[in-house]
């Protein structure tokens, strides 16, 4: 009776078919949101040096990209804009003819089925690179809110299906919710960057979006990576204020936070697989040090296992191809 002294876990791992029967987590293209950088100008397709395979695209290139993404089975994109001109108050963010607004209108016209999520922030549009209004080298909360709300309304007017505020000002969800409702956009959901850490993993994004702060850092508005309870407070207030989705960002080093948010709140949770996480995999893969496909699939599976309902990732197109 020797065999009864221990459990035979390997029984459930004997074949592909057996393993797929007992697989607890599934990753599909429905889980993916692809981020796209649109840049003002013409005939621009700049590969971001620290993000191989990711481009800044002018509007004349965007439609082909969105069609490709849609044909791969990805149903949602997140848009970031890079304007030609920046100023102290980030005017380009809430200009009805701004780069993101024009991109939204064009995509809605050419690929109407694609769900468009507008990242709502000021840092790509301000000359100082901060996510709000700066006075005496400080980012001021309440006056920044007004501009953020203006940005959200302008994006919704252009046709954005969802607003994703990311500047981490207090009260941004309720301010945007009220502003949207006031002009008849009560059906446009808010996907809040509720739990956004002041992370070194955003480095490559700031090259892509040209949004590195010219002085200081974002530690007075983004969260300290050491904190977990604070994440719960942030998530809680955003829910109270009317958030429909909660983003946790970055993803990989914060899977404990994804799980905690998922277990505590009853809204869909999104993990943002950020630029630095992308760059690290690409760099190692280009050196032949890791198997890119296997590593990416393992990472995204881990995000889902941690509780993410959706994943924003620069790997979305690759993953959709691998899943085919």
What residues are labeled active site? 196, 249
Minimum CB separation from ligand PBG for residue 296, in Å?
Answer: 15
Q: Which of 89, 211 has the CB closer to ligand PBG?
A: 211
- In this structure, how many other beta carbons lie within 10 angstroms of the beta carbon of residue 43? 7
Report the alpha-carbon distance of residue 297 to residue 316 in Å, rounded: 11
State the nearest-atom distance from the C-beta of 292 to ligand PBG, in Å. 18
Count the site residues for ligand PBG by CB under 6 A. Answer: 12
CA distance 104 to 62: 10
Spell out where 158-237 has E strands: 162-165, 191-196
Residue nearest to ligand PBG (CB): 205
| Site pattern 107..136 for ligand PBG (x: CB under 6 A) | ------------x-x-x-------x-----
Q: What is the smallest separation between the CB atom of 251 and ligand PBG, expressed in angstroms?
A: 10
- Which of the residues 151 through 180 are near ligand PBG (CB under 6 A)? 166-167
Q: Decide whether 141 or 264 has the Cβ nearer to ligand PBG.
A: 141
Beta bridge partners of 56: 37, 46
Nearer to ligand PBG, 148 or 179 (CB): 148
Q: Out of 274, 279, 308, 311, point to the residue binding ligand PBG (CB under 6 A).
A: 274
**Residue 280 makes contact with ligand PBG by CB under 6 A:** no
Q: What is the closest distance, in whole angstroms, from the C-beta atom of residue 275 to ligand PBG in the complex? A: 3
* Contacting residue, 275, 306, 310, 316, with ligand PBG by CB under 6 A: 275
Nearer to ligand PBG, 63 or 203 (CB): 203
Nearest to 247 by CA among 172, 182, 322, 186: 172
Residue 51 beta carbon to ligand PBG: minimum distance, rounded to whole angstroms? 9
Stretch that binds ligand PBG, among 24-32, 134-142, 183-191, 203-211 (CB under 6 A): 203-211
Closest-CA residue to 256 (of 289, 236, 231):
231
* Look-up of token digits 């849609």: 70
* 30, 53, 118, 125, 233 from 121: Cα distances, Å: 26, 24, 9, 8, 21
Q: Taking Cα atoms as reference points, which of 71, 72, 66 lies closest to residue 35?
A: 66
CB-CB neighbours of 153 under 10 Å: 22
CA 145 to each of CA 16, 162, 165, 169: distance values in angstroms, whole numbers, following the listed order: 52, 18, 10, 7
For ligand PBG, the binding residues in 236-265 under the rule CB under 6 A are none
Interface residues toward ligand PBG, by CB under 6 A? 119, 121, 123, 131, 166-167, 202, 205-206, 211, 274-275
């Amino acid at each position: 009776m020797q065999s009864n002294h221990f459990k035979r876990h390997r029984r459930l791992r004997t074949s592909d078919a057996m393993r797929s029967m007992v697989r607890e987590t599934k990753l599909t293209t429905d889980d993916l949101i692809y981020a796209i950088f649109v840049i003002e100008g013409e005939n621009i397709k700049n590969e971001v040096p620290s993000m191989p395979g990711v481009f800044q695209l002018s509007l004349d290139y965007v439609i082909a990209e969105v069609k490709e993404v849609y044909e791969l089975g990805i149903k949602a994109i997140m848009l970031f804009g890079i304007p030609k001109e920046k100023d102290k108050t980030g005017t380009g963010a809430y200009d009805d003819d701004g780069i993101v607004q024009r991109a939204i209108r064009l995509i809605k016209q050419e690929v109407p089925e694609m769900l468009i999520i507008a990242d709502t922030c000021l840092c790509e549009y301000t000359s100082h690179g901060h996510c709000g209004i700066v006075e005496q080298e400080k980012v001021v909360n309440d006056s920044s809110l007004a501009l953020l709300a203006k940005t959200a309304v302008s994006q919704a007017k252009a046709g954005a299906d969802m607003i994703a505020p990311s500047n981490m000002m207090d009260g941004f969800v309720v301010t945007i919710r009220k502003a949207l409702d006031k002009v008849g956009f009560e059906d446009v959901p808010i996907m809040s960057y509720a739990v956004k850490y002041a992370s070194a993993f955003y480095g490559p994004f700031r090259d892509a979006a040209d949004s590195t702060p010219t002085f200081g850092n974002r530690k007075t508005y983004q969260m300290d990576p050491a904190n977990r309870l604070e994440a719960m407070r942030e998530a809680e207030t955003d829910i109270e204020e009317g958030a429909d989705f909660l983003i946790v960002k970055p993803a990989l080093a914060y899977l404990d936070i994804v799980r905690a948010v998922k277990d505590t709140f009853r809204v869909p949770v999104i993990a943002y697989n950020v630029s630095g996480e992308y760059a690290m995999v690409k760099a190692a893969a280009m050196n032949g040090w890791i198997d890119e496909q296997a590593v990416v699939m393992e990472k995204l599976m881990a995000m889902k296992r941690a509780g993410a309902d959706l994943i924003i990732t620069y790997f979305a197109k690759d993953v959709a191809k691998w899943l085919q």
